[in-house]
Chain A
């Protein structure tokens, strides 16, 4: 039987590497999950259009935490336009598997990044 959470997802949930704030962040995105009431904040540091650093703070389920961590990992080092192309499916694929009702949590991570980019661009 397939486990609801893959081992990789569990690892990102239990030991996220990218949590925390960036003090001098260039963009901060705050999003909430209207469905379950979860909160996520994404911080980005941008240099020459590339996401140099990215961190998160998430109050949410294991899927929300794991996808937050994963999107940081995947977006770091990418050009902003490229990073914005990461879909929630990419996140789910990369993590292995998430329980079906949890797919919307991956969506939250993607929206968090978008919001951070928007705040960065509005500051430019």
Chain B
């Protein structure tokens, strides 16, 4: 088979060479437990402290405000459940296009919640959000950028709105954003964004899987959801996973140098232009304020999972929001939230670019895609 073309970078990314190199010594050689007082332990502790500093630099916060977790999902859970658990009768607001790590966490929290509608491009309107605020509201969680359709939410504007609201309130509203998809391309300075909580993921930014970061502003009070040895200010007990933490920090450090925002945007726009030349193809998500590496299309008469499989046969990896591909056989809640009919969601294809993506890759993809769509339309007769 010819060279594999990986166009599913929103799903996960490979560990960058430099990242792996930094991680390796911490598996067998510098394996000490950072909580131990002997030399080996202290060596690991130093590595963790340094990593924490690197992440703090990226976020523009203090080292003490950086919490290492086992994943972005865990970071979201720790923050949302941790905050909600420390209030009597709390209310929380989130958006309809959140990742399940936020949406389900909110819905299962057992407290009063509001799921905010988004417009047909997936945008949250800060004014709409403002109207949903109640006396009991303690938390708002809106993702920085959407994983399926690439919508970049107006986090800064929401942050400003909340700050204003808080001026006259007894119960201050905390603002959290899941930046797992955004971190590779957008500024994550927490002061600029006006957030009290922010989530990062390692494996979306060419770091390892199994590690995430939670930024928790120093003034935020919350209750742990994991109990044990009291690591990470008691909020994330569990022995430090030194190699993954070191890898996470290195990945964050490399973002600036490695992720070419403009180049990626150019490729994205080229891809969108070319795909929309296919008859009855449509773009899902916005044209502007879209993640540089995200595209998502629907092709009338061609089912998404079948498309993914034909592309895969040709060595091209993509993904779909089709009901056929989900465990529950429900179409993507994101595509539904932006008003797609079930059949449109059914024929969706997400193509997400990465550091290594070239125009040549996209041209090969386009050729295979056109043929695949045609073939499936013949089979479906639609």
Contacts and interface: CB of A to CB of B under 8 A. Distances in A.
Interface of A: 10, 13-14, 16, 19-21, 35-39, 41, 57-62, 64-65, 101, 104
A39 B309 CA distance: 19
A61 B326 CA distance: 11
Interface of B: 301-303, 305-306, 309-310, 313, 322-325, 327, 329, 331, 342-343, 346, 376, 378-382
B378 A35 contact: no
Given A14-B310, A14-B313, A20-B378, 10 more contacts: A13-B306, A19-B381, A37-B342, A37-B343, A39-B382, A59-B346, A61-B303, A61-B306, A65-B379, A104-B329
Contact of A65 (B306, B322, B346): B306
Given A37-B343, A37-B346, A38-B303, A61 B380 contact: no
A61 B381 contact: no
20 contacts: A13-B306, A14-B310, A20-B378, A35-B323, A35-B329, A36-B323, A36-B329, A37-B323, A37-B342, A37-B346, A57-B381, A59-B303, A59-B343, A59-B376, A59-B380, A60-B380, A61-B305, A61-B325, A62-B305, A101-B329
A64 B323 CA distance: 13
A39 B343 CA distance: 10
Contacts of A60: 303, 306, 324, 380
Given A60-B306, A61-B303, A101-B329, A38 B378 contact: no
> Interface SS of chain A: helix, strand, loop or mixed?
mixed
Most buried by B among A13, A19, A38, A104: A38
A41 to B, nearest CB: 7
Nearest to B372: A14
State the 3 A-B residue pairs at the shortest beta-carbon distance, nearest first. Answer: A57-B381, A59-B380, A61-B324
Contacts of A13: 306, 309
A72 to B, nearest CB: 12
Contacts of B378: 19-20
Given A36-B323, A37-B346, A38-B324, A57 B310 contact: no
Contacts of B324: 36, 38, 60-61, 64
B340 to A, nearest CB: 12
A21 B380 CA distance: 10
Nearest to B320: A61
Contacts of A59: 301-303, 343, 346, 376, 379-380, 382
B306 A62 contact: yes
Nearest to B313: A14
Contacts of B329: 35-36, 101, 104
Given A13-B309, A35-B329, A37-B331, A58 B379 contact: yes
Contacts of A62: 305-306, 309
A7 to B, nearest CB: 12
